[in-house]
A and B are shown apart, each in its own frame.
Chain A
């Protein structure tokens, strides 16, 4: 199977994702420029963290108008896995692929630390490798990670089991301790923590491997069934 890692001007975690997939998960992976307009041939799309367009105006707000975005929207519609991490999550909300938005942390400061997360839903295509309720340690590194949605949306998220990861000690003020959510169909996940920074014990944790391995298992168990 083959992963695409999108790269926007100002992305800065694209190589981290690329290396995690290539060296640790050991699957095919390719960097795809924001200038492209097709995602044909890929089984899953990863949107990296960073500061696309400097996060000027609003995080993810400019990247959302890139040439690759219509292809991404079609890809998501087809039901294949799309994972946005950190700035990738922000781009997904700006592109209308996920509900809600990411606001400035309540501390008004950038926070970089490893946080314990609770796996709230282990039957998504991004979390099947974990046990329900499992505690995992993943690094966060963001200034705008405070997830917000209105009460009606939150009710939907809960009712549809869209909340995949929750913070144990909410570091940024997110509604309902939300760290990661999917769309209603369950094939688009946005999360603020960085699983690609936690794929090797030598770097402090390999708890993030499960996210990528879950995607691989999902694709491989289904065979070539898309389209």
Chain B
């Protein structure tokens, strides 16, 4: 096959310079100048330009987001490892650490939804087990446009099928996530995957290669021409007349990943004396894993012989081998003399493993191919010395001169409005999605998808982890800073409602183009809002990922910083779910209901858009309310607790009736419109009658009694200016049926 990238037709350093070929790989004139004049003091060759284009991409270098990410609150007495490694680690006692991270796979999923989703799951799992942790749960945070055409439906189904195929096969339960629909994500869906692992804290591994003479071992699938230079976002076409060798996306193989995972955990747990470092080959493949490993170790160089790299296809160039994003591959640094011991472990597990290079004296990163030196660059220049840009920030037009009045919902028949609300796809049941995920494998899932947070026990201990993902991009669109804080707050409400205390967060920062000041403003402000909230909740950011350039025809998505939060449940008897449990339990709303309509689901439902100034948010009050609910749970006063969010109080009440098909008879000093307000800092809870006095003493004026749970399968809620009156099974049918109906 005639390749534009093979040795014979590869462009010369002079051609690269004269024709600015580096631009098509994603490097700017300025960056090329830096490489030529400041780093190498000569013209880089084709392979070297490729290395820099991958490593200096936003995906690998965070060059546009680094100054923003530095603002994150990352400290905490339980943080064992913060951002910077494959994943962060938090101490949960008993010599155990919880490891978690999230990663976006938006762009690959937009090109090929099934494989984009599978490889998103596979990539984040490698980050977890490369730390020495066994993955115990995954979550998916998805954003789609409202499905209209068959193509839209196919697209959503394929993404869900990809997550299902990979997660189920590898045997890691997908315990939840969140899915929302808004046309802001048309052409640019969000596929964010979070994974959580558990490890013994004396088994931490880091991605570093140190010690001259130590061996670099390549593990896993052979390298092919898939996803080449995916990280640089470049549409790589040297010459459009030739058949492009760039296949758009990678292909996932969960079976191979399962073998690789078991083998790597075997090496980490049973051969730790031999192991120096281990790292996933993710974005920018071999170059990124090896250069990062070399750079983190500090003080040494690295030499790789590319002829030794297992290859799926003949005639691959050095450029292709280094920048391929073939999946299910890991890179290890192993102490000299221990190679055979480690190679045997991989052989026993049926996994490819081969020594491809060594740690060397000096500081240079050298690549040999067909007996020739094809790249020779300072190792730090690729990784830690990538350029950093301080982008300009300017308030977007849509945030200037906004209407400060809150939208007033128009409700003539409250029950009909509730029914319409329950059928909104963002509100409706996601069961038709999550029932295709294996939620129970590993037999630790105590609360499966469908409640505020999933709960996974820590086997053999009286403790469990609560896990959730959350963000409402509409709030951020109207106020990125407050919306960012609300994303963290809502995640924390989910965690608290399940009986846990927040431990920390990971994130996927899904934003537009950082080179446009108004879009950079959203990123910068959102991070500030998130970090303020993280500090208040003592929930540090321990890992995360950035996905920029989410725009189509120059219109960015809503700013959507997905928050993945993990909490600790200190006794299994604290586990709480959202469903009302018994008739005659007393129902309360905890937290004040304020007008919260701009950016709400009801504004969107009734006007087709969101607008105006976002409603107010008081972080201190939020913390106070959450602490009250935590105290009530720990004192065993609650039979159920549910966060109030999209769709407001009435939606939360309805959702609480569904699990056990119990009705309610409630009265509140609110208007029917107030029941759809999305003001923050609220929970709907139910309290057994005998605990009523104790509960009321605890919460004082911060909770209002609404009435009782009843066993007649009927939802009746009296407001000041009308009432909601609906059979629970009818409400449930609408809520449950909406999504499968729209995806048919």
Contact = CB atoms under 8 A, between A and B. Distances in A.
21 contacts: A9-B259, A10-B258, A12-B441, A16-B442, A19-B443, A19-B459, A49-B441, A50-B171, A51-B168, A51-B255, A54-B255, A110-B438, A112-B435, A112-B440, A143-B168, A194-B440, A197-B443, A200-B443, A203-B443, A203-B444, A204-B448
A19 B256 CA distance: 25
A19 B444 CA distance: 11
A56 B259 CA distance: 14
B254 interface: yes
A57 to B, nearest CB: 11
B445 A112 contact: no
B439 interface: yes
A109 B161 contact: yes
A15 B173 CA distance: 14
B437 interface: yes
Given A51-B168, A54-B253, A203-B445, A9 B440 contact: no
B169 interface: yes
B440 A202 contact: no
A141 B441 contact: yes
Nearest to B173: A112
Contacts of A53: 255
Contacts of B443: 16, 19-20, 196-197, 199-200, 203
Interface string A1-45: 000000001101101100110000000000000000000000000
B474 interface: no
Contacts of A56: 255
A204 B744 CA distance: 31
B168 A141 contact: yes
B168 A202 contact: no
B168 A110 contact: yes
A191 B463 CA distance: 32
Contacts of A20: 443
B374 interface: no
Contacts of B434: 112
Nearest to B349: A9
A113 B435 CA distance: 6
B350 interface: yes
A203 B572 CA distance: 11
B169 A141 contact: no
Nearest to B575: A202
Interface in A111-169: 111-113, 139, 141, 143
A51 B255 CA distance: 8
A110 to B, nearest CB: 5
B164 A51 contact: no
Q: Chain A binding site: helix, strand, loop or mixed by DSSP?
A: mixed
Given A10-B258, A141-B438, 8 more contacts: A10-B169, A13-B441, A16-B441, A51-B169, A112-B168, A199-B443, A202-B446, A203-B445
Contacts of B255: 9-10, 51, 53-56
Interface in A179-227: 194, 196-197, 199-200, 202-204
B436 interface: yes
B457 interface: yes
A112 B439 CA distance: 7
Interface residues of B, number: 32
A54 B445 contact: no
Select the residue from A19, A110, A200, A203 with max chain B CB neighbours within 10 A.
A110
Interface in B219-264: 253-256, 258-259
B328 to A, nearest CB: 11
B43 interface: no
Contact of B436 (A16, A54, A111): A111
B164 A9 contact: no
A54 B169 contact: yes
B170 interface: yes
B439 A203 contact: no
B438 A112 contact: yes
5 shortest A-B CB distances, which residue pairs?
A12-B171, A54-B255, A51-B169, A16-B443, A141-B438
Nearest to A7: B262
A19 B441 CA distance: 12
Interface string B419-448: 000000000000000111111111111101
B440 A203 contact: yes
A199 B459 CA distance: 14
Contacts of B161: 109
Contacts of A110: 164-165, 168, 436-438
Contacts of A113: 435
Given A9-B259, A202-B446, A111 B435 contact: yes
Nearest to B259: A9
Interface in B677-731: none
A16 B440 CA distance: 10
A204 to B, nearest CB: 8
Contact of B457 (A109, A111, A197, A202): A202
Nearest to A202: B446
Nearest to B351: A9
Contacts of A15: 442
Contacts of B169: 10, 12, 51, 54-55
Nearest to B157: A109
Contacts of B444: 203
A109 to B, nearest CB: 5
A203 B442 contact: no
A20 B459 CA distance: 12
B564 to A, nearest CB: 22
Nearest to B254: A54
Interface in B89-136: none
A221 to B, nearest CB: 28
Interface in A47-67: 49-51, 53-56
Contacts of B254: 51, 54
Interface in B147-172: 161, 164-165, 168-171
Nearest to A50: B171
A111 B459 CA distance: 25
Nearest to B171: A12
A197 B440 contact: yes
A10 B169 CA distance: 8
Contacts of B440: 112, 139, 141, 194, 197, 203
Select the residue from B161, B349, B435, B444 with max chain A CB neighbours within 10 A.
B435
Contacts of B165: 110
B170 A12 contact: yes
B103 to A, nearest CB: 22
Nearest to A35: B348
Nearest to B459: A19
Nearest to B350: A9
Given A51-B169, A202-B572, A12 B258 contact: yes
Nearest to A194: B440
A56 B446 CA distance: 31
B583 to A, nearest CB: 22
Contacts of B171: 12-13, 50-51
Nearest to A10: B255
Contacts of B459: 19
B54 to A, nearest CB: 29
Nearest to A108: B161
A15 B459 CA distance: 12
Interface string B168-189: 1111000000000000000000
B30 to A, nearest CB: 46
Contacts of B258: 9-10, 12, 51
Contacts of B350: 9
A56 B169 CA distance: 11
Nearest to A111: B435
A81 B632 CA distance: 50
Contacts of A49: 441
Select the residue from B164, B168, B445 with max chain A CB neighbours within 10 A.
B168
A27 B448 CA distance: 29
A36 B459 CA distance: 29
Contacts of B441: 12-13, 16, 49, 141, 197
Contact of A112 (B256, B349, B437, B572): B437
A49 B349 CA distance: 19
